[in-house]
Each structure stands twice: as C-alpha cells, then as structure tokens.
Structure 1
C-alpha cells in the first residue's frame, strides 16, 4: 500500500436560538459563508483544535461541543485524505471582534443561511448540524476533471 497523506481539520457551528455564527470569508478560493474552523495542529486533540480555532477566528470561547460528523475528501490519484471533524455548540461567551482573520463573524438566521453564498461542501452538510444523529460524507476527488466525483452520504 502506498503512503497516504492525511490532513485533519475541524469545523464548529455555534448556535444561539434560531441563529448561527458564520464567517463571511472573502479571500482565496474558499469564498462564502462558513462556520469557524481550521487545521488540527499536532499533537493537540481534535476537539481542542476546534475550540482553539473558534477563539482565533471569532474571539469566542466555546464549550460542550457535540460531535456531528465526518466530512472527507479522498483523492485516489494523489493519495490525499482530508478529514474534517464537525461539531456544534450552544455554549459560548466572549466578544466578537470587528473583523476576524478569516472574515467578519455574523449571526445569521438558520433559514436565511440557505440563501447565502456557500461552498458546496458547507451547503451539503449545513442542515445535518441541526438534526439528531451523526453524518459521514465522503467525496472522491476526480483529479482528471479537477472537481468532485462520487459523493457518499451516511446518516445515523
């Protein structure tokens, strides 16, 4: 078996009643409204990473994160596996900065969020944060076409 390149990220949806906190990200090729999150730094735990990323990107301190699921991209040609661990929490405190490093943090009504510009990967899992149970979504990357190939969604 060839060497596989694993990259691990987190996403943490912060919910306050019928609103969620999203970042209006307007740089690089990941534009759109996204929940806070980022790369897991070795050797921190995955949940510690989610808490740290929220603090760095929004100024908020979160606690009691609930695991919602795994979203991953696999590229059989390059042997890359990108794993994104997804959490949600309703417990937070602190002050939002005027402008964060990844974009302006804004409270958005959950129903209105569906009309906002979002990356397909965020849009695909967005409703799953608010359902009971957990999800696992795997996207096989089509290297030749440079786009998503087969998408498998499992929800329990």
Structure 2
C-alpha cells in the first residue's frame, strides 16, 4: 500500500433566510437531489473564498459573513483517498437569485420540509448540524470492496 494520499477539497454553503434555506435541485448527474451550493476548491484559493465563489457561480448571490460550520470527510483506505468538504452557513447575502444554474435550480425550501425532499444521504446527515449552534466533524470511512460506508464518526462541539 502506497503512503501517498490523494486529497480532494470541496465546500458547501447553506444560505438561510428566516425559516427557509437555499438549495439547488440537481437533476443532471449521479448526485441528484437537493444540495447547498458549493464545489471544488481551486488551488491556491482559501476554503472560505471557494465557498463564496461557488455560491456566486451557482446562485448569483454574494454571501457575506460566512461562518464555518464543520468538516465532512470520506476516507478510502484502499485507494488512499481523502475527500474533505468544508461546510459554511450564512444569513447575509445580496444580489439577484438566478432562475437556473448549471448545478441545479436554486430553490428556497422551508426548514420543516428538509427531511422530506430528495437529497444525498451525506447532505441529509449534516443539515441538522449546519442549522444548529456550534461546529461538527463527520468522518466516514469507505469500504471499497462493499462500495458502502464502513464506519461513521460524528463529533459536535
């Protein structure tokens, strides 16, 4: 087994307006469902700058006072891969919301409906932590042979 690890970095930013959050309705690839705006971090960009840029590209909005909420990571020991997603939130934004985006249709969803709409399991798992005070770390070890989660560790502060 090689000691070199392949690191990949992404961001997500949950935008809240009163009792609604802004999600993208993704329908174009294998990651279908509702998801907060976000994407890959471009080197040498900071994680926060990447989150702000991705929100602008995917929603048309400029976010302000972005708050770090937590870390979500997948570790695949078989392939020596580590996928790290930095999660942010804000309720301060300006600009005009796009009617559509390459990543999905921006849609305001009432907080009470979040657990009833289609979304990836990893998004559903972290949304409650993103809406609460404090930060979180979710560490998922992937079983490559079974193509499923092997261990999940959640820490909340």
Normalised by the size of structure 1, how large is the TM-score? 0.98
Q: CA RMSD in A?
A: 0.8
Which ranges of structure 1 fall in alignment gaps of 5 or more residues? Answer: none
Q: Which residue of 1 aligns with 2:19?
A: 18
Q: Secondary structure at the match of 1:42?
A: coil
Q: Which runs of 4+ in 1 moved over 3 A?
A: none
Q: How does 1:4-153 map to 2 (within 5 A)?
A: 4-153=5-154
Deviation at 1:33, TM superposition (A): 0.3
Deviation at 1:111, TM superposition (A): 1.0
Q: Equivalents in 1 of 2:134, 2:121: separation in Å?
A: 21
- Pairs aligned (count): 156
Deviation at 1:39, TM superposition (A): 0.2
Deviation at 1:114, TM superposition (A): 1.1
Q: Deviations over 1:104-154 (max 9, x none)?
A: 000000111110001000000011111111000001011001111110000
Which ranges of structure 2 fall in alignment gaps of 5 or more residues? Answer: none
1:154 and 2:142 aligned? no
The 10-residue stretch of structure 1 (69-78 or 88-97) with the greater mean CA deviation from structure 2? 88-97
